[in-house]
Structure formats: structure tokens, C-alpha cells
Structure 1
Amino acid sequence: MAVDFDFYLSTMWSVLKALPLTLEIWFFGIAFGLVIATGLTWLRASGYKLGEYFTRAYVFVFRGSPLLVQLYLIYFGLSQFDFVRHSPILWPILRDPMYCTIVAMALNTAAYESEIFRGALRAVPIGQIEAAKAFGMSAFTRFRLVTLPIALRLALPAYSTEIILMTKATALASVVTIMEMMGTAQKIQHDTFRPIEVLTCAGVIYLLLNLSIARLFAWVEYRLSPHLRPPPEQSQLVKPIPEVL
């Protein structure tokens, strides 16, 4: 069977035109999710029992149920309540599939990110904190200069994995009529009855997108971890002695 390169190129271009919408969903989803995760992490580490119980319940619910179910509940389920449909604040958001997808992604990723941040904070070596106390640093200064930089470096590998998972999760937006990359690919597939070629093009684009994100986070991790870089060559450390005439 001959390969139809023209069809591959046209399909690739049609799917790529939906990339900005995919990136918009992805960006706002992880941005709002990061804000929510920061608040959840603070509640978990604050020592307040009520806040800790709420965070545990939140993480249990959103990590224990599929993102697709959460998206369906937000988009199709909440509209059944009269107070939602008559709310001047909630209804403009919950009637829009774009906003519902962003809300579902943000709530879901916040549960995972809060656990990543909590684990990173607990993994900070106690010796580093004790040394900062010995220098007379205040609690806020210790957190800003010692705990937070180390925790961010420790959390980065797991956080990058969660970001990549959210990139792939944007494909679920197609089930609520959003024509992002996966929605566009499905429409082309239904029109042409050529699923292998269409889905291959979409898969390649997702693969390249995730590869770019992974390489970006690898570069950030490299910049934040100077102690893991290989030492410079000995020839770069010792300058040659100039000859004296």
C-alpha cells in the first residue's frame, strides 16, 4: 500500500492549527492547579487539624477518581442544580466547556502536585535547616533561602512528570465538544475513515510537544543543581604560566 504523503501533511497541518487551543487549556489548567496546590500544601503543613483533614479528603477524592469522571460531573452534572443555573458567577463559567475543562484539570492536578510538594518539603535535610537556625535566620528567611530552593529542586522531576501527564490529559477536552488537537483529529478521522494515519499524526505531535516540555524541565533541573554538574577540566582550572623572555 502506497503512503499518501499529501494526506499526512494536510492532516498534520490541520491538527497543528488546533495546537494554540491545546496549549491554552494546558497552561491555564496547570497555572490554576499550581495556585490550588500551593494552598493545599500550606494547609497540610500548617499544623491545623481541620486544614489537614480537608487536604487529605481532597487528595483522596481527586486522586482516586478518573479525570474524565470529574470533567463529566463538572460539565454535565453541576448544571442540574438550579442555584448553579441562576448564579451570575457560576453559570457563565460552568456552561462553557472550555472553562469546565480548565477547572477539572486544575482541581485534578492540584491533588497530585500538593503531594509532590509535601514530599519535597519533608525531604529537605534537617541538617540544612539546623544550620540556618544556627546562623540566626528567622523562620521566613530559612524558608525563603534554604527550605524552598532545596524543595523545588527535589520536586522538579516529579512535577515535570505531572506537567507531561496534564499535556496528554488535554485530549479529554474533545469529549465536551472542544476542538483542540484530539477533537480535530477525531473529526478528520470521522470524515475520512482513516484512523491509522490521522491518529498517527496526532500522536507524533503530542510526542514532540511532550519531548520539548521534558527537555525544558531537564534544563531547569540542570541549572538548579550545580552540585550535580561534572567538574570542569583540570586544564580550565589552572591557567598556563606565561613565558618570561
Structure 2
Amino acid sequence: MTHAVELIAARPAPPSKSQRPLGQQIIGYGLLAIWAMLGLALLWSVISGWDMDKVTRYGPRYLDGLATTLTLTFTSVALGALLSIPVTFARMSKNKVLNAISYSYVYLFRSTPMLLQIFLIYYGLGSFRPELQSLGLWWFFREAWYCALLAMTLNTAAYQAEILRGAIQSVPRGQTEGAQSLGLPASVTFWKIILPQALIVALRPYGNEIILMIKGSAVVAVVTILDLMGQTRYAFSRTFDFQTYLWAAIFYLSMVEALRHTWAALEARLTRHLKR
């Protein structure tokens, strides 16, 4: 034990910025300067090409597309969170059938592009119109919005199930053993002891998943949904101005940065007791 402590104490600390080789610092500052110049050039391009007529004409469309993107994303994330709970339990179950089904579902949706999943649901299931009409489900699958919502929900549920499963398994087994020694029921142990600790671990991966869903939602434009990207394509088809896509990039960047800072503040608030 003493020898291990000596080895840990003797381990050199990672080099600080001031200790890094001069060549690395110069390359780093050079790359930063290049990015800064590109950003200024982009900003100048926007300012010099500002056209109030286009802003007035297509601005409301962008805002409507933004609302569609946010509604679709957060609805699918919320529904995916609910669906991920039984999938997580099935993945952790000792029942081989449940485990195999949940594993296949997670593997399938995590290993294929969301665009392909939307096509399979919208175009693939749409080819079974008579069967869906007989089941009373055609009203759902004939609408691109519902199909995109279903595909996004199934996709994010697979990722959220793995996030939750990993977070639960990261909680030390001693927590469960301690609760058992106190005679606490398994349900109380899970909901009051294990799950709160697991959710703290899962906070950052959940935030990353929401950000990925915001950016990934752009693919729904290919099935005629006028989200932010769909409205951008419409504006470009009328103006042939590349700045229509530039404005879409600014909107996506703003959404991601707003969510990132909000999530960081939430994480800092919920984990403040761990930093004392």
C-alpha cells in the first residue's frame, strides 16, 4: 500500500499551458487567429450583403421553422425519455428474451442513420396504406410530421436507454448493499437512492443528446416538413442566395449555445453539493 502511494505521489503532473513547447503554443495561436479571421470574413459577408427586403419577406418563415424545429425536437426527446425507461429495464433484465429484444432495438437504431429511419417509416410504412387504413392508423402515417416525430423518438430513446443504463451501472454496488442492510424495499432503493445518483451522472450525456437531436432534426426537411432547414431550402429556391443557409447556421448555432449554457448552469446547480 505504501509503495502504491509513493508511485502515485511520484507521478508527474500534466504540463500546464506555460510548460508546453513554444512550437505547440505558436501553432495553437495561429489556428485561433485563422478561425478568428474566417469569423470576421463571415460577419463582413453578412453585413455587406444585408437585404432588408429578404429579411422582411422570409424572416417570419424562419421563425416559424424555428418553432417547428424546437417543438419537434423537445417533444421527441421527452417521449424518448419515457420510452427509454422500460428499454433500460429490459436491457438490464436477466430475462434473455427481454434482453435480446431490447438489445436488438438499441443496436438497430444506434447503428443506422436517422434519415434512413425516417424514410423507412414515412415511405416504407406508407406503402402499406390498405393495411394501415384497416387498423385505423393511416391518419398517423400519412402525415410527415407524425412520421418524423416517431422516427426521432425511437432514435433518441435508444441512445437515452444506453445513457441511463450506463449511469445506473456506474452507481457503486455498496449503495444497494447499504440500503438492503437497512431493510429498505428494492423499489425505494432504486427510486430514492440509485436513480438520483444515476441522473447526476447522466446529466451531461443527456445534454449532448439533446444538442445532437437539434442538429439532427434538420433531416426532416427531406420529407416535406417546413422546419428551420425546410424554410431555408424554400428561401434559397426563391432567392438563390447562399446567405439563406448562413442564417440557418446562425439559428442552429444560437440554439446549441443557448442550450449548452442553460444545461451547464443546471448541472452546476444540481451538483453544487458535490463541490463542497
TM-score range, shorter chain: 0.7 to 0.9
After superposition, give the CA deviation of every residue in 1:17-61 in whole Å (9 maximum; x if it has no partner): 322211221122112211211110011123211110001111111
Q: What is the match of residue 121 of structure 2?
A: 74
Superposed CA RMSD in Å reads: 1.8
Q: Kindly state the Cα deviation for residue 225 of structure 1 after the two structures are TM-superposed.
A: 1.1
How far apart, in 1, do the equivalents of 2:134 and 2:147 lie?
15
Matched, 1:124 2:167: no
Q: How many pairs were matched up? A: 229
Question: How many angstroms does 1:83 deviate by?
Answer: 4.6
Give runs of aligned pairs for residues 182-221 of structure 1, distance below 5 A. 182-195=229-242, 197-221=243-267
Aligned counterpart, 1:63: 110
% identical aligned pairs = 36
User: Against the structure 1 CA distance between its residues 191 and 116, is the aligned structure 2 distance closer, same or farther, given a 3 Å change threshold?
Assistant: same
| AA partner of residue 201 (structure 1) | W
In structure 1, runs of 5+ residues without a counterpart are: 232-245
1:67 and 1:116 map into 2 onto residues whose CA distance is 18
Distance 1:7 1:114 in 2: 47
Normalised by the size of structure 2, how large is the TM-score? 0.78
Rounded to whole Å, the distance in 1 between the matches of 2:218 and 2:153 is: 15
Alignment-mate amino acid for residue 271 of structure 2: S
Of 184-193 and 80-89, the range deviating more from structure 2: 80-89
- The structure-2 alpha-carbon separation of the partners of 1:50 and 1:75, relative to structure 1 and needing over 3 Å to count, comes to same
Q: Does 1:226 align with 2:263?
A: no
| C-alpha distance after superposition, 1:190-238 (max 9, x if no partner) | 111112x111111111111111222222222122212333x5xxxxxxx
Alpha carbons 1:12, 1:202 under 8 Å: kept: no
1:101-180 superposed matches below 5 A: 101-180=148-227
Work out whether 1:31 is the aligned partner of 2:78: yes
Change (3 A) 1:186 1:47: same
Give every structure 1 segment of 4 or more consecutive aligned residues whose post-TM-superposition deviation is greater than 4 Å: none
Specify which structure has the higher proportion of helix. Answer: 2
**TM-aligned CA deviation for residue 14 of structure 1:** 3.3
Runs of at least 5 residues in structure 2 that lack an aligned partner in the other structure: 1-44
Q: 3-state SS of the aligned residue for 1:18?
A: helix
| Change in 2 beyond 3 A, CA 1:21/1:120 | same
**Inter-CA distance 191–5: structure 2 relative to 1 (3 Å threshold):** closer
Q: Is the 8 A contact 1:8 1:201 kept in 2?
A: no
Q: Which amino acid aligns with 1:48?
A: N
What is the identity, as a one-letter code, of the residue corresponding to 1:134?
S
Query: What is the identity, as a one-letter code, of the residue corresponding to 1:114?
Result: A
